[in-house]
């Protein structure tokens, strides 16, 4: 193994460690439940801008949920506070409450 190879491996490891750190960050926001899809473990939420995630405009988003049981605690029309985490597959609701 030469120095160029070691440097490349170290750079890749640093990139993936930083990416994992960024993806692990969570954000708490408010919104309104527009749709619940229990079968697909997804929830649709109308929300305001989320500057921390570069979502600069109000929008309605479909999110995966970490635990499908969370979907039983809310219904369409509920005003909620929810926590989002980002992983390699996009954003996921990890907590939700009315």
CA 6 to chain centre: 34
Q: Write down the pLDDT at residue 8.
A: 45
Three-state SS at 1? coil
Do residues 83 and 28 make contact, with C-beta atoms less than 8 angstroms apart?
Answer: yes
Residues in the chain: 98
Say which CATH superfamily domain 26-97 falls into.
Copper binding periplasmic protein CusF (2.40.50.320)
Domain residue ranges of the chain, discontinuous segments joined by +: 26-97
Q: What is the pLDDT of residues 60-74, one digit of tens each?
A: 999 999 999 999 999
pLDDT value at residue 63: 97
The answer to whether residue 40 scores a pLDDT higher than 90 is yes
């Amino acid at each position: 193994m030469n120095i160029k190879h070691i440097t490349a491996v170290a750079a890749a490891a640093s990139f993936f460690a930083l990416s994992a750190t960024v993806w692990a960050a969570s954000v708490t926001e408010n919104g309104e439940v527009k749709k619940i899809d229990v079968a697909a473990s997804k929830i649709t939420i109308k929300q305001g801008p989320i500057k921390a995630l570069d979502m600069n405009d109000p929008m309605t988003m479909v999110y995966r949920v970490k635990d499908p049981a969370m979907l039983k605690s809310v219904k369409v029309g509920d005003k909620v506070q929810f926590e989002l985490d980002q992983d390699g597959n996009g954003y996921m609701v990890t907590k939700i409450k009315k």
